[in-house]
């Protein structure tokens, strides 16, 4: 299931490269990798390992749908292919492009408490800057406007966490029934029930069980057990230590996101215990 299929296997087992029936469209740092890998525990799910960036990247998109299909893994006709590219959620052109490919596609969005997600996003960018020896600022400076002392709404990590704004753009093309919202905070602490909700949404028979998920105390996260010989944890880049952020800034962010969160609950019919 893991490696590339050989020519013989493709012919012998009637394997095909199928366009995705479901896409994890975001949100960046929500737990998109964990969700994809965990869904791949299901025998009827095949994942595109890499982020394809077909719909958000003009150059890739210009290569056409066959190029996209050829990026997909080989699968049996009864299986469903899933890909994840978190940039899709926030990129203006993407909903229309996906709609043109398949107007009845299922869309998965995994969210986390918006302030935590923004700090996680900052932490990832920071790591990249440190690697390149570039200068960087503290989260507080990025997230706050120094003139007004209010939340800096131009900061990308803040904007991405305004989930309702992005979702509203998608709803111009797809009805809400085509989306499923995954609780990314719960996927960390208690993955199985979240995965069972996704199985149901995808009309898959329930196959992922507690056997497939075991808590690894060293990693501090759940890891995946595919079978008696094959298990794996996510890469070390998943589960970074976040910097400590001034409480006053956290409080301002909570207040800032609150009305957007309310709207998000209202639209999606899923309520979270976000502050």
109: three-class secondary structure by DSSP: strand
Distance CA(30)–CA(16), nearest Å, equals 30
29 binds ligand A3P (CB under 6 A): yes
Interacting residues of 54 by C-beta distance below 8 A, sequence separation 6+: 60, 61, 67, 68, 71, 85
Of 17, 85, 120, 212, the one binding ligand A3P (CB under 6 A) is 120
Which region, left, alpha or beta, applies to residue 50 given φ > 0 means left and ψ of -120 to 50 means alpha?
beta
User: φ, ψ for residue 242 (rounded to 5)?
Assistant: -85, 150
Q: Answer whether 215's CB lies under 8 Å from 222's CB.
A: yes
**Contact between 32 and ligand A3P per CB under 6 A:** yes
Q: Which of 80, 198, 234, 250 binds ligand A3P (CB under 6 A)?
A: 234
Q: Is 30 in the site for ligand A3P (CB under 6 A)?
A: yes
In this complex, which beta carbon is closest to ligand A3P, that of residue 174 or of residue 222? 222
Q: Does 115 participate in binding ligand A3P (rule CB under 6 A)? A: no
The nearer residue to ligand A3P, 181 or 234, going by C-beta atoms, is 234
Among the listed ranges 30-38, 175-183, 204-212, 255-263, the one in contact with ligand A3P (CB under 6 A) is 30-38
Between 96 and 190, whose beta carbon lies closer to ligand A3P? 190
Q: Which part of the chain contacts ligand A3P (CB under 6 A), choosing from 128-136, 152-160, 194-202, 236-244?
A: 236-244
Q: Which stretch binds ligand A3P (CB under 6 A): 25-33, 91-99, 149-157, 248-256?
A: 25-33
**Residue 238 in contact with ligand A3P, rule: CB under 6 A:** yes
**Residue 109 interacts with ligand A3P (CB under 6 A): yes or no:** no
Q: Is 34 in the site for ligand A3P (CB under 6 A)?
A: yes
End-to-end, the C-alpha distance of the chain in Å comes to: 42
Question: Whole-number minimum distance, CB 2 to ligand A3P, in Å?
Answer: 18
| 188 lies in the binding site for ligand A3P (CB under 6 A) | yes
The answer to whether the beta carbons of residues 193 and 186 sit under 8 Å apart is yes
Residues 6+ apart with CB under 8 A from 194: 182, 183, 186, 187
- Pick out residues in 63-92 that bind ligand A3P (CB under 6 A): 86
Partner residues linked to 223 by β-bridges = 214
Tell me the closest approach of the beta carbon of residue 187 to ligand A3P, in angstroms. Answer: 5
82 touches 39 (CB < 8 A): yes
CA distance readout (Å), 157 to 144, 230, 255, 273: 12, 36, 16, 21
Residues that bind ligand A3P (CB under 6 A): 28-34, 86, 120, 187-188, 221-222, 234, 238-240
């Amino acid at each position: 299931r893991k490696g590339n299929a050989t020519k013989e296997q493709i012919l012998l087992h009637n394997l095909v490269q199928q366009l995705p029936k479901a896409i994890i469209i975001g949100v960046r740092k929500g737990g998109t990798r964990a969700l994809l890998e965990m869904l791949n525990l299901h025998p009827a799910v095949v994942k595109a390992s890499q982020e394809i960036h077909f719909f958000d990247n003009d150059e890739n998109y210009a290569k056409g749908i066959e190029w996209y299909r050829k990026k997909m893994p080989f699968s049996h006709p009864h299986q469903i292919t899933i890909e994840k590219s978190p940039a899709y959620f926030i990129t203006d052109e993407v909903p229309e492009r996906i709609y043109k490919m398949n107007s009845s596609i299922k869309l998965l969005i995994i969210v986390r408490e918006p302030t935590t997600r923004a700090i996680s996003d900052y932490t990832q960018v920071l790591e990249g800057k440190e690697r390149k020896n570039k200068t960087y600022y503290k989260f507080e400076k990025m997230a706050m406007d120094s003139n007004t002392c209010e939340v800096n709404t131009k900061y990308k990590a803040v904007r991405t966490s305004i989930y309702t704004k992005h979702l509203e753009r998608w709803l111009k093309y797809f009805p809400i029934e085509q989306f499923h919202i995954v609780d990314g905070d719960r996927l960390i602490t208690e993955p199985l029930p979240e995965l069972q909700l996704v199985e149901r949404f995808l009309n898959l028979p329930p196959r992922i069980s507690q056997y497939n998920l075991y808590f690894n105390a060293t990693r501090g996260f759940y890891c995946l057990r595919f079978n008696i010989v094959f298990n794996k944890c996510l890469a070390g880049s998943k589960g970074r230590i976040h910097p400590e952020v001034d409480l006053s800034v956290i409080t301002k962010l909570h207040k800032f996101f609150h009305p957007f969160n309310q709207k998000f609950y209202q639209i999606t019919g899923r309520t979270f215990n976000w502050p």
